[in-house]
Structure 1
């Protein structure tokens, strides 16, 4: 029996000719990432390893993104410890507020050319699976594994089984990758891909932008997946040529393809033409419903941003439906570009003019309200439409608050109408 794309990458990094689902391996890593929440305890683990230096200063990225700008003394101390460790280790990549390379880790690592096709990487954040959009194996770990990996450049894996999602057709405007992944999770459930790779194939792949693919892979963990992964095609290569021209020119990447006889636990055939605009109701991402199939639900807040939907494509989509309109008087609309580069591009393109004229709030790049941290935490019984990735009880604030997950078109439209709604319900300008 052949191997899946994920299994081939893992076999190569483990120095093995082949691997199979369930096998325990030790694999070399091309990148190790931590943030301001998970890195401090990882530093403690690193100190206990007896090593003075990380395994490779160019392959460790520590990003203060969750509580920056720092919300309180504790978060400031966490970020300070991360910065001091990065300086002590003379890490090649440094991240600081206001710098163009700074932002949410799952936005800036691919955009800074730090991830290449065929890489194996871990991050002490569950949404590290985002980078599978580039044809890399990318998954989240805990702080203990992060600390050990910083010291050794290796970690252990149990080789995952796989689900195959065979895509045909094309998403119909204004549907996005967010609608597709919410649609998939509504079908298979939050444990439907438990410890499996979610592997996307088929002629429909070419009709998905890189931003779509990152959103889809980002939420593999919301289906219980070990990772999400897309095949490398011209869209992938055009992206890395733009963000990492020197590495692209040097051929510093490797393309893996699944074997024709690779084994999948299940195969799902999805016609992208039939995917509707989706909303995931509280309190699980699997509670997806098509826009237009539910009663009126008034809201208090909208958040557009995060590692799921904080890219420039997402900002442009939000502006498209806020253009010439006002946020509903009862609603707070918070716009959070995913990186300083995205923030700067919004400014250049005049998107901030659209947002401010619509009376939305523009934030510095941060994870902020996604994890109930700051910059938009919800009060008791408030309802929020959010382009983030989780709507668990208490995720964005009070335990009685309700979170409705959606893509930028639905989020922007809901902000204007004051209720969960899609673009077709917006009044003509």
Structure 2
């Protein structure tokens, strides 16, 4: 009986020749990640347990991205606590305002995630780094504290679902449509504590940004992680970013999967998730015309440079509808600079959009786009639960950058192909 990609990575990290689904293992960690909301809780637990030093200051990353630049006194206190801890323990990868970005875009950009590594983060969307062939998963702040102190963590080895991708994406269809389609097909608990392993000839046609988007939302199907095989595009991405040795793993031919889901990329259409679950999906042509109040283009799901290019191509020479607030948030400082060089910022501003410094703010209803009662947003974020981005009667429609930009212009949910 063979092993999946995820199982091979975990076996190596546990110092074992083989692992099986359901097995409990203790694995070595390559990176422990936290943000300005979760790190302070981890610090409190770390100190309460009597720990006085971290296991490796180079293998911990703290990114102040959720409520920053600080929206109020309490968020400033949390950032101060994280800042002082990073200084005390000489944390190498500490990212503050002016240097930070949305964590799950920043970590790969800085070369802190690589194929074959085991990464935990006190944020549910840590599964993003599976796009690079890593095992990465979200954990609680207590587990983050243990990871910072020991560099080890217990895991139950997940079983897997094979997601076979065929064909290639058509114009105005992206990785966001792939993952929304999948979640709509299997449900928000369809991969509960399982690994979503993406394979097939269709993988080669996906950009790295598409893969980051898809892996990012594995958790929205209940997945423990999402993971892609390492190919030429992966190696091209990490070249110049990652200098340490890394190892790519491939699933054995006789690896065991709970089931297989086949997606024909040729046939996918722009897809949205209506309130209040990511599984409530429709092709955009079915719901076009729904009135909206706001559009958010950004987040750890869709704030990368390709996302901004897609949005700018649609907004160029047009105006955001007078009834809509459009907020564009590049995910990192590097992406912001690239967007400026390419003239994308000018396009957004001339269209009547607001452009922000990198932040997670609106995604979690923190700041920079909180909704009032009864309002509706088309957002490129990853979660549309009740009250997620504001008042409990507000609504979130999850969409790709293409759909979001087209909707900003139309003043309602719109098909970018129209």
In the superposition, the TM-score normalised over structure 2's length comes to 0.99
User: Is residue 49–residue 151 contact of structure 1 (8 Å, CA) maintained in 2?
Assistant: no
Is the 1:200–1:230 contact (alpha carbons within 8 Å) kept by the matching residues of 2? yes
Q: Paired residue for 1:238, among 236, 239, 243?
A: 236
Query: What corresponds to 1:355 in structure 2?
Result: 348
Aligned equivalent of 2:116, options 101, 114, 118: 118
1:30-45 residue pairs with structure 2 within 5 A?
Answer: 30-45=30-45
Query: Any idea what SS the aligned residue of 2:296 has?
Result: strand
What is aligned with 1:26?
26
1:61 is matched with 61
- What are the Cα deviations for residues 262-291 of structure 1, in whole angstroms up to 9, with x where unaligned? 000010111110111001000000011001
Match of residue 181 from structure 2: 183
TM-superposed CA distance for 1:295, in Å, is 5.4
Q: What residue in structure 2 maps to residue 138 of structure 1?
A: 136
Gaps of 5+ in 1: none
Structure 1 CA distance, aligned partners of 2:383 and 2:291? 20
Gaps in structure 2 of 5+ consecutive residues: none
1:174 Cα offset (Å): 1.3
1:325 deviates by 0.3
Aligned residue in 2 for 1:7: 7
Q: SS of the residue aligned with 2:261?
A: strand
Aligned equivalents of 1:44, 1:356: Cα separation in 2: 42
Which residue of structure 2 lines up, in the alignment, with residue 365 of structure 1? Answer: 358
* From 309, 313, 317, the counterpart of 2:310: 317
Moved more, 119-128 or 288-297: 288-297
Does 2:377 align with 1:379? no
Q: Is 1:253 equivalent to 2:251 in the alignment? A: no
Deviation, 1:293, is: 1.4
Kindly provide the CA deviation profile for residues 190-216 of structure 1, in whole angstroms up to 9, marking residues without a partner as x: 000000000000111000000000000
Task: Find the counterpart in structure 2 of residue 213 from structure 1.
Answer: 211
Q: Which residue of 2 aligns with 1:331?
A: 324
Q: Which residue of 2 aligns with 1:281?
A: 274
Q: Structure 1 segments of 4 or more deviating over 4 A?
A: none
Q: Is the 8 A contact 2:379 2:397 kept in 1?
A: yes
**Deviation sequence 1:206-237 (CA, Å, 0-9, x none):** 00000000000000000000000000000000
SS state of the match for residue 58, structure 1? helix
Q: Distance in 2 between matches of 1:279 and 1:168?
A: 21
Is 1:95 paired with 2:88? no
Contact 1:199 1:228 in 2 (8 A): yes
2:5 touches 2:250 (CA, 8 Å); kept in 1?
A: yes
**Which residue of the partner structure matches residue 159 of structure 2?**
161
Give 1:238 deviation, angstroms.
0.2
Are residue 293 (structure 1) and residue 295 (structure 2) matched? Answer: no
Aligned residue for 2:415?
Answer: 422
TM-aligned CA deviation for residue 50 of structure 1: 2.8
Distance, in Å, in 1 between the alignment partners of 2:221 and 2:317 is 37
* TM superposition shift of 1:348: 1.1
Deviation at 1:49, TM superposition (A): 3.3
Cα deviation, residue 332, structure 1:
0.2
Distance 2:247 2:179 in 1: 26
Alignment of 1:191-210 (within 5 A): 191-210=189-208
SS in 2 for 1:303: strand
Give the secondary structure class of the aligned counterpart of 2:362. Answer: helix
Per-residue deviation, 1:122 = 0.1
Aligned partner of residue 61 in structure 1, secondary structure: strand
Cα pair 1:322 1:412 within 8 Å, conserved:
yes
1:49 paired residue number: 49
Distance across 1 between alignment mates of 2:297 and 2:253? 40
Structure 1 residue matching 2:402: 3-state secondary structure? helix
Does the Cα contact within 8 Å between 2:330 and 2:357 map onto a contact in 1?
A: yes
CA distance in 1, matches of 2:288, 2:102: 35
Aligned-residue Cα RMSD (Å) equals 0.8
